[in-house]
Amino acid sequence: MTNKQYHAETLSVRAGSEATEFGENSEALFLNSSFRFKSAAQAAARFGGQEPGNIYSRFTNPTVTMFQNKLAALEGAEQCVATSSGMSAILACVMGLCSAGDHIVASRSIFGTSVQLFSNIMARWGLLVTYVSLTNPAEWQAAVTPKTKLFFAETPSNPLTEVCDIAALANIAHNAGVYLVVDNCFCTPAIQRPLDLGADIIIHSATKYIDGQGRCLGGAVLGSKALMEPVYGFLRTAGVTMSAFNAWVFLKGLETLHVRMEAHARKALALATWLEKQPQVARVFYPGLVSHPQHVLALKQQTSGGGIVSFEVKSKAGQTQQQAAWALIDATQLISITANLGDAKSTITHPATTTHSRVSAEARAAAGIQDNLVRIAVGLEHVDDLKADLSLLAK
C-alpha cells in the first residue's frame, strides 16, 4: 500500500503489515534466528546486498521489519531501525553518527539514564556533552562548537512537562551543520511528529506508549535513509536488536495507538483540571492546561497535552515536602507506585527520590524539581476513580 493517501489512524492499523503465502490477517511472528537460501549463489547475493531479503535475525527479521515500516509510516520517516530498548536506540544513534572528540548539546531535562549514558559511559570514549536549558534557544546556539554533531532534546520534558520549540531548535541546528535528535517517547507520532517540524532524527522507547500495556522493552531510531545507514550498521554489528516477539507485541500496540493516546490525553486533561482546583495542590504541570507557560506552543506542535501530569503537594503542619508527597502516594490503592509510564494502568512516582535521585539536590532545585513534586502517568481507568484514589487531596 502507498502510505501517503491514508490518514494516521489507518496507517496505525494497516501500514507495514504483510502477509505470508498463508494470507494471515494478523502479522506473523517469525521466531527464528536464521533464514535458508535456495543456493550458494543466493546466499552470496543476500550477503552482498544485491538481493534484498532476510539473512539472520540480528539484523533482518520479517516481524521486526513490519514493526519498523509501520512506525516509519507513522512518523513520516524514510527509515526506522528497531532496537532492544529505548536506551539502546540512543546508544545506536550516537555510536552510528559520532566519533571520539565529537560534541553533543543536550537538554538538561532529558531522561536520567540518557544523562548517565552520555556523561558516564560515552564520555570515557571521548564524547563531549554540554547540557543547556530545554526552553532557551540562545543557550543551544551558544553551546555549539566546530565539533558539535547532535542536538538532543526531549519535549515535553520529564517530569515538569516543559516544551521546546522544535522548529526553532532545528533552525539553529541546521545553520550550524548539526542534526537535531528528538526523543518522542512522551508524545508518540499520534500527538507529535518531530520530523515535520524540522527534526532530523527521532528516538523512541517503545517500552512506553508504543506497547501501551507494560509488557516489553524496545526502542527505535528514525530518520532519512542516509542518516540511518550508520545507525543500522552499528546495530547489525553490535546486536542491540529488537526481539521478534517484542516487535510482534509492538505491532499490536501500534494498531491502537491513536485511540489510546486520545484517551490518555482526555483523562490527563480532566485530572489536571481537577488537580488545579484542589486546595492541597500548590501547582500543576500539564501542557494542555491554559496555565502552562508554553500552552500555546505545545498545542501548535502537539495534538494534545499527552498523558503525563505532575503537581506539587502542599505540606501540612510539621510535614516536610517529601513527607507530604510520600503520604499522598502511599495513600493510593488503585494507582501503581512505579516509575514506568505509558501503561494502561495509571502510575504514580516521586521524581526527587526515584527517576531523579541520581541528580544532585542542587541540580534538582535548579531544574525546579521540588521534593513535593508528584508525577502521574495517567492510564485508561475512569478518571473519577483516579481522583478518588488521590484521597489525601480531598481531606
Closest separation in Å from C-beta 219 to ligand PLP:
5
**Judged by CB, which is closer to ligand PLP: 185, or 324?**
185
**Judged by CB, which is closer to ligand PLP: 87, or 269?**
87
In angstroms, the CA 387 to CA 394 distance is 9
Closest separation in Å from C-beta 345 to ligand PLP:
16
Closest separation in Å from C-beta 184 to ligand PLP:
8
Q: Are 344 and 301 in contact (CB under 8 A)?
A: no
Closest separation in Å from C-beta 226 to ligand PLP:
24
Omega before 159 cis (within 30°)? yes
Q: Which residues contact residue 102 at a Cβ distance below 8 angstroms, ignoring those fewer than 6 apart?
A: 126, 127, 128, 147, 148, 149
Closest separation in Å from C-beta 16 to ligand PLP:
20
Strands ordered across the beta sheet of 128-132: 79-83, 219-223, 201-205, 179-183, 148-154, 103-107, 128-132
With residue 181 as reference, give the H or E element that holds it.
strand 179-183
Give the 3-state secondary structure of residue 315.
Answer: coil
Eight-state DSSP code of residue 339? S
Question: What does the angle CA 15 – CA 16 – CA 19 come to, to the nearest 5 degrees?
Answer: 110
Helices (H) and strands (E) in the chain, counts: 15, 12
**Judged by CB, which is closer to ligand PLP: 183, or 371?**
183
**Judged by CB, which is closer to ligand PLP: 253, or 281?**
253
**Judged by CB, which is closer to ligand PLP: 54, or 209?**
209
Nearest CA among 50, 54, 103 for reference residue 236: 54
Closest separation in Å from C-beta 87 to ligand PLP:
4
Closest separation in Å from C-beta 196 to ligand PLP:
20
**Judged by CB, which is closer to ligand PLP: 69, or 155?**
155
Closest separation in Å from C-beta 163 to ligand PLP:
14
**Judged by CB, which is closer to ligand PLP: 206, or 390?**
206
Query: Could you please report the per-residue DSSP string of 365-395?
Result: HHHT--TTEEEEE--SS-HHHHHHHSHHHH-
**Judged by CB, which is closer to ligand PLP: 57, or 88?**
88
**Judged by CB, which is closer to ligand PLP: 287, or 324?**
287
Q: Given the rule CB under 6 A, which residues bind ligand PLP?
A: 85-87, 111, 114, 154, 158, 183, 185, 205, 207-208, 217, 219
Nearest CA among 368, 336, 340, 337 for reference residue 352: 368
C-alpha dihedral (128, 134, 136, 141), degrees to nearest 10: 30
Closest separation in Å from C-beta 211 to ligand PLP:
9
Unique residue bearing C-alpha cell 532557551? 136
In angstroms, the CA 372 to CA 369 distance is 8
Which residue number has the CB closest to ligand PLP?
86
